[in-house]
Structure 1
Amino acid sequence: MTQILKQRIGERVGALKISWRQASMDAGLGAGFIQDIITGRGQAPAEQAITSLAAVLKCSPAYLMGERDEAPHNIPQTILGTVQRPDVVMTLKIVDELLTSGHVDAAHLAVKRVLKEIQVQ
């Protein structure tokens, strides 16, 4: 799974101010679809899944996959300038939701994965 996909999903979810879970469900995918992408647990998503997700995130599938660089028109420039690590922001949102739901072990795993990712870069 590419880093650009993780980053752009994070950007779009943040820009639209929706949860990863809501975006996944609105796209007709499993509730944990985006969580699995961001944390690296999921496999590379199918083309149809990317298309469905792009529709919900109000961008093109090509944008999500990094094939095009034009940002969707409705992202405020202030958000684009300040969100440097949307994958980390998304992971923190996931961890918060997991902890709220009482899934401490899953939250711990998500934190470990993002810390490992940060160290690699």
Structure 2
Amino acid sequence: MNAILKERIGERVGSLKISWRRASLEAGLEAGFIQDIITGRSHHPGEDALASLATALKCSPAYLLGESDDLAGGEIAHDAPLLASDTARRPDAVMALRIVDELLAGGHVEAARVAVRRALKAIATE
């Protein structure tokens, strides 16, 4: 199974502060769907199942598969107001910071480190 898929499911579940079971059920899938992916029992989840899971995790299927670093419409709640000019200039950086903030607030330090590394790599390639 794709390591990126496992990592991104973990990031989204952590940032939304829900369990694997709850996310699976909210996606209309069997309760152990995510657990099967993470443990390697499921090697090729179908497109429809991934689309449903992405909806429940408030991101795109492309994000889950590592084809995009943009959550594509998945909103992450955040209390700090942002200026419209900030989001217009660097929406990717703003989203990355929101993700890191949510992960840290939830105690997911390693997932936050991964998100920071990914954002720094994206900035370095610009």
TM range (shorter): 0.5 to 0.7
1:24-57: CA deviation from partner (whole Å, max 9, x where unpaired): 0111111100000001111210000000000000
Number of residue pairs the alignment of both structures matches: 85
Structure 1 segment 1-121 matched on structure 2, within 5 A: 1-71=1-71, 72-74=74-76, 75-78=98-101, 79=103, 82-84=109-111
Mapped to 2, the partners of 1:73 and 1:64 lie a distance apart of 15
TM-score with structure 2 length normalisation?
A: 0.61
**Structural RMSD (CA):** 2.0
Which one has the largest radius of gyration?
A: 2
Aligned partners of 2:51 and 2:61 also within 8 Å: yes
Q: Which runs of 5+ in 2 are unaligned?
A: 77-97, 113-126
In structure 1, what is the Cα distance between the partners aligned to 2:20 and 2:55?
Answer: 14
TM-score (norm 1): 0.63
Contact in 1 for aligned 2:58/2:75 (Cα 8 Å): no
**2 CA distance for matches of 1:23 and 1:32?**
10
Rounded Cα–Cα distance in structure 1 between residues aligned with 2:109 and 2:69: 18
**Structure 1 consecutive aligned stretches of length 4 or more whose deviation exceeds 3 Å:** none
Letter in 2 for 1:6: K
Structure 1: how far apart are the matches of 2:4 and 2:64?
A: 7
Q: Distance in 1 between matches of 2:21 and 2:51?
A: 17
Give the secondary-structure state (helix, strand or coil) at the position aligned to 1:83: helix
Q: Give the aligned partner of residue 98 of structure 1.
A: none
Q: Which residue of 2 aligns with 1:107?
A: none
Structure 1 stretches lacking a partner, 5+ long:
86-121
Distance (whole Å) between structure 2 residues aligned to residue 83 and residue 17 of structure 1: 15
